[in-house]
Every structure is written in structure tokens, then in C-alpha cells.
Structure 1
Amino acid sequence: MKKLIGKLLLKIVGWRIVLEGDAQTLNRCILVVAPHTSNAEYLLGNLAYWALDKPLKIIIKDQHTKAWYGPVVKALGGIGIDRSQKNDLVNFVVDEFKKEDFSLVITPEGTRSRVPKWRKGFYHMALAAKVPIVVAAGDFKDKIIYLGYKISVEDLETRTYEDIMREMEEYYRKITPKYPEKWNPKIY
């Protein structure tokens, strides 16, 4: 049912999905979503994953999973984290990947505001969990959701962080965010 809903809603709002790799990669990966200038990226990404019938999770403040609407947030893939406590998110994510396969959405900017550089957690999570990084983006100019560009586990283990970040920075040059003034294309 989600697959049908995802396809229908994307068609209604005029967006399309461009898959840039093997759809099977979306079953188990760290999904880096950028630019993150609006909550619209999450909604569009969720619809894309529904349309492709792929498992998706997102780490979110636990206040959203504990609220009256918490069951809905959890059903949409929300994993609640108490952000007032020090959490070992890397090992938490490794343990989650031991339980099941899914794409874990990470927005390395950490906010919808302009930032000087990305946080590195997504990189360390992918290395520790031995899963690829898959790059995703919503291009608001052309109404395209790009999914599937993969940085393999082998690349993560043999290339430097800087090399990988340069590759990702180059990738995102083609993307027009919803609010360009909130996006810093220099990500590292």
C-alpha cells in the first residue's frame, strides 16, 4: 500500500525519482541527504522510499517518539534518541544494523540552517557498520529526487575522508536546494 501511496503522491506534487545505482543498495546503507534546508526533503524522501518499497529509518529526538503521535513517527521509521544524554551513536547504529537491514537517513549538516561544514558522524557510522554511504538529494529546481549514488565500503576503507568529501561536494554541485541561501556548498 505504501508503494502505491508514494508513487501517487509524488506524481501529484510533480516530483520524480532518478535512481543512480542499484536499488538493492538502498536496502542497507547510510543515506546521506543534502542539502537540508527544509523539512520538505524528509517528506519527499520518505515518499520516494515508499514508492521504491525500501526500508527507511531516521534518528530523531525521542520527544517525538514518546509524544501522543509517537506511534506514527515510529511507523515512519523514527528511532528516538535522548539528545540530552551523551549517546554513542556510532555503536548504536552498528547494533541497529545487526538487527535488520534498512537505510538510515543522516543529514550531515545537522540543521536546516547554513553551516560552515558537515559533521563526520555519518562517515564513522558507515565505516563501523560496514555499510556503504548512499548519496541522496532533492533538486527543487527540476523536482527530482536523486537516489543511489554509492560510496562503497571498500572506498571507505581505502580512501581518505577528504577524498570522499571532495567527491560528495562535487556531486552536490548540480543540486538546487529549496532555500539556496541556507546551503553551504563547501561541505568540509
Structure 2
Amino acid sequence: MDNSGSGSFMRNRRLESFLNTSSSPTYREKPKVSVKEEAAQKPKADVYQDDDDDDGWVLALISCIRIVTCFLTMMVTTFIWALIMLVLLPWPYERIRQGNIYGHVTGRLLMWILGNPRKIEGSEFSNKRAIYICNHASPLDIFLIMWLTPTGTVGIAKKEIMWYPLFGQLYILANHLRIDRSNPTAAIQSLKEAADAVVRNNLSLIIFPEGTRSRNGRLLPFKKGFVHLALQSGLPIVPMVFTGTHLAWRKGSSHVRPAPLTVRYLDPIITDDWTADKIDEYVKMVHNLYVKHLPESQRPPES
């Protein structure tokens, strides 16, 4: 009797164990993970890649105030220096110098208003007489260029810039250079005249080799103009690599974010021995140099 009851009890336990095993998967309890360790295991997402609508109304309002303050500041400084340059009309080189001083003052003020953390590397190359080039993905690039290029530097832009209200007129008063991009022949002739002016007046030059702003921060193909200028002027090329500006203020966006910015001056590229039959090689070489020094998120998709 006892043996029968004991055997029945054991059979029921085995059947219960079998049913439990078949109906639900076994698992082992995972060790507890701290909040910090869990955050570290998750892939890091760039908080500045979010859409403008995700910023929240407080950040959007702060951004709007900063942009309006920048605009008003630029209007005031532009008006003041326009008056100064009108007085200096008979002295073209002094107008160039005043244009650079305007850029140093205005660019620094605008960057201070926006408040982005900034890091500058290789500044020992920032005062050479040279052709300065930089990648272009944000309005902030203009502010940085205005602030950081040395006195005695002229910009080069399309001739239509003269129609930009107030800023375009100041650009012309500052004796900066314009090129006609209506056709290749006119563009090459404009570049030759620009190079002659740079050599004749012992100036430096700043140019964006991409020719336009990148929409997503990724490096675009380079135009050949900066190589033509180097060939005709004999000046070295100083690459300036901008990172983070496209995250701080994207093209077409009305929001400025507090993303950190880095400006890195690379070693000057000597162009004394460059020849006209290798223009494409020089363009590719300098472009590859940028690809090497840009973060993955700013490299061309195929890189």
C-alpha cells in the first residue's frame, strides 16, 4: 500500500516536471546590470542629428533669440564698417585690412553669442601668407572664416554676391574678389585676374573648394579653382578642416544647437613645383587629405 502510494506520487512528480519543461522554455536569470553599464552597452546616437521639431520649445526659443541677436549684431557692425570703408575709398589695400578687422570682430562676436564650445588645432599655420581652403557645411563656417583668417586676406565668391543686402555691398567695399561662373572660359579668366591681384598686393586668399554648402555635412567633390589659383600665384595651400559645424547649424535649418566645433589647420602644402598637366591629381590629393582628417560622419559615402 505504501509502496503503491509512493510510486504514484513519484510518477505524478515526473509527469508534472515533464509538462512544465514542455510548456515553457527554461531560462537562466541574467546578472543585474547597473544603469551606467547599460548605457555604455547601448550604441551611442548623435543627439544633434535629431530633427528640429525634437528640440523642444525652450531650446527652440533660445536658438531663435541667438540667431536674431547675431543678425542684429551683424547689421550694426556691417553698417559701422561700411561707413569706414566709404571714407577709405581711395585706399584699396586699407579697405582690405579693415574688411579683415571687421571679420575678426564680427566673427568672434557671433561665435560668442552662439556659445558653441570651440577647439582650434594647428594655429601655428594660421598666419602664413597662403591660400586657405576649408570644407563648407554650415553658416557657421562663414563666421569662423571671418574670425580666423589673417589680416591681408581676401575672399573669393561668385559675382552675384553683390546683390546680398548690406553684406554684399560691404564685400565689394572691402575689395574682396568675385568670379564669373557663367561659363568655364569666364571663370578661368576671373581666377587669373584674382590670382594677379593677390600676387600684386601681397595678399592671402580664402576659398571653399566644394563651391557650395553640403546639406548633410559630408564632403562634396572639390572644384579645380583653388588649384588654378595656386598654380598662378605660387602660394602654399593651408587646409582648414571644420568638424561639428553641420551639427550645430545645418543647411536650411533655423535652429542652432550647442554642438562642439573643431577647427584644425593642416600642414601647408607647397605648390612651387606643381604643373598644369596634373591639376586633377592635385585636386584628388587634397580631397583625400580631407577625407583622412574628417570623422566618418563627414566623409563622402563611398569613402
TM-score in terms of structure 2 length: 0.47
Tell me by how many angstroms 1:33 deviates: 0.9
Could you say if the C-alpha distance between residues 20 and 154 of structure 1 is closer, same or farther in structure 2, counting changes exceeding 3 Å?
Answer: farther
Number of residue pairs aligned between Structure 1 and Structure 2: 178
Native 8 Å contact 2:133 2:239 kept in 1: yes
Residue 72, structure 1, aligned to residue 188, structure 2: no
Structure 2 portions without partners, runs of 5+: 1-100, 245-258
Where does residue 262 of structure 2 map in the other structure? 144
Cross-structure match for 1:48: 148
Structure 1 position 122, deviation (Å) = 0.9
Q: What is the CA RMSD across the aligned residues, in angstroms?
A: 3.6
Structure of higher CA gyration radius: 2
Q: Structure 1 unaligned runs (5+)?
A: none
The equivalent position to 1:120 in structure 2, one of 224, 243, 259, is 224
Query: What's the CA shift for 1:112?
Result: 1.7
Between 1 and 2, higher relative CO (CA 8 Å, sep ≥ 6) is seen in 1
Q: 2:122 aligns with which of 4, 14, 19?
A: 19
Matches for 1:72-91 after TM superposition, within 5 Å? 72-74=170-172, 78-84=176-182, 86-87=186-187, 88-91=189-192
Listed one character per residue, the Cα deviations across residues 107-160 of structure 1 (whole Å, up to 9, x for unaligned) are 222222468632222112101111111101211175111225200133536xx6
Which has the larger strand fraction?
Answer: 1
For the pair 1:169 / 2:288, whether they are aligned, the reply is yes
SS of equivalent residue, structure 1 residue 156: coil
Give the aligned residue type for 1:43. F
Question: Deviation at 1:166?
Answer: 3.2
- SS at the partner of 1:138? strand
SS in 1 for 2:151: coil
Q: How much does 1:171 deviate?
A: 4.3
Matched, 1:61 2:61: no
Distance in 2 of aligned mates of 1:186 and 1:103: 33
